[in-house]
Amino acid sequence: MQGSPPPPDKLVTLANWQEPPFNRWGFLHIRDLIPTAQISRGAGPVAELEHDPREIDAVAFRLRGRDWTVASMLDATYTDGLLVLHRGRIVDERYVDGMGPDTTHLLMSVSKSVTATVAGTFVDRGLLDPGAPVTEYVEELKGGAFEGCSVQLLLDMRAGTKFSEDYDDLQADVRVYEQVCGWRPRVDPDLPEDLYGYMAGLNENVRPHGGRFDYRSILTDVLGWVIERVGGASFASLCSSEVWSKLGAERDAEVTVDAHGCAMEDGGICTTLRDLARFGLMHLDEGLAPGGRVVSAAWVRGVTRSDPDLLAAFAAAPDGKDLPGGMYHNQWWVIDPDRGIHGGLGINGQQVLIHPPSRTVVAKFSTQPGPWDHALSEVQLRGSLAICDALERGDV
């Protein structure tokens, strides 16, 4: 239940909430650990989701010489919740260990896809030029690592900025800046007071801007700063007005903020499972939602449009071997450009998978023990694709 205390033998703190077994409670109770800003659902009616139950547990797939079912995949990947929408109807919805339809859960890097959608709304209106330099919108970044970097390179994770994303190294940039964001106890007194100062202080590049794909969460936070400057309001307010208030969401979302109110757009958004599925459904419907158009069909279609430059940039990166033939564009992982299959993915097993061929959305929350377990990530994605394939064939 949301707001419930952790078990007395599992005291959750700011220092351990991302580690097992504490993460299972922590991911559901972010506001009890870290300050958050409300992303309002607005005053519109809830878009009710009809049910069309299907039996998916026995859907089978084979991976690396082992036979799997959806049931065994869900058990192996530390599932907190799963919701499958097929043609806009719920065919499967389940929750584990205290989570329920009204419980918000941390999205981790699925937040990046939400953030990019907010950016897309401003691109549609001509207020944000993806080809323009980042420094045109945020003057504080002039002379630093983002000099000469376009907004599009942030969206595609192709900036040259030096930033280590090694989650297992507490001295890596991705862990150190969590002290600034309020995700971890502050032990380094020399760090900037807020995330704005941290971003402005980055002044090293490891390669020219526009090179190969290189996944770094800080690029999404810089994008969030650009969005705030374009929209003239906080990210939480803009995410509400541009996206969340139009989805017919059941609950407000929220995003973690630092001591000065700067949002952690790269991973700090929390939503219910149903509302994440509604976000995915909006993308499946090419930007249309019950409350009106969120983002243009051209923006949504552009996410998965095959691009030789993006394909080559992705293939040249270490991550390229995980999704052969895939690419990364506008803060989405494009799994199959030809079929338009793409997803928002986050560490510890967060996912919203968009599968246009079968008209399916698979939303999943998890608390996997490690941030990025290649084997678990692979089985989760393959199992989710197997669900979509079965629905496309009419086997379930």
Q: Which positions are annotated as active-site residues?
A: 109
Q: 9 Cβ partners below 8 Å, 6+ apart?
A: none
Structure tokens at 187: 């032990």
Rounded distance, CA 279 to CA 290, Å? 11
Rounded distance, CA 219 to CA 199, Å? 9
Rounded distance, CA 189 to CA 242, Å? 37
CB atoms within 10 A of CB 152: 18
Map residue 263 onto helix, strand or coil. Answer: strand
Rounded distance, CA 85 to CA 93, Å? 9
Structure tokens at 48: 């009710």
Q: Which residues, listed in sequence order, are joined to residue 346 by a DSSP beta bridge?
A: 350
Q: Counting beta carbons within 10 angstroms of the beta carbon of residue 95, is it exposed (0 to 12), middle (13 to 18) or buried (19 or more)?
A: middle
Structure tokens at 120: 């897309």
Q: 204 Cβ partners below 8 Å, 6+ apart?
A: 145, 161, 162
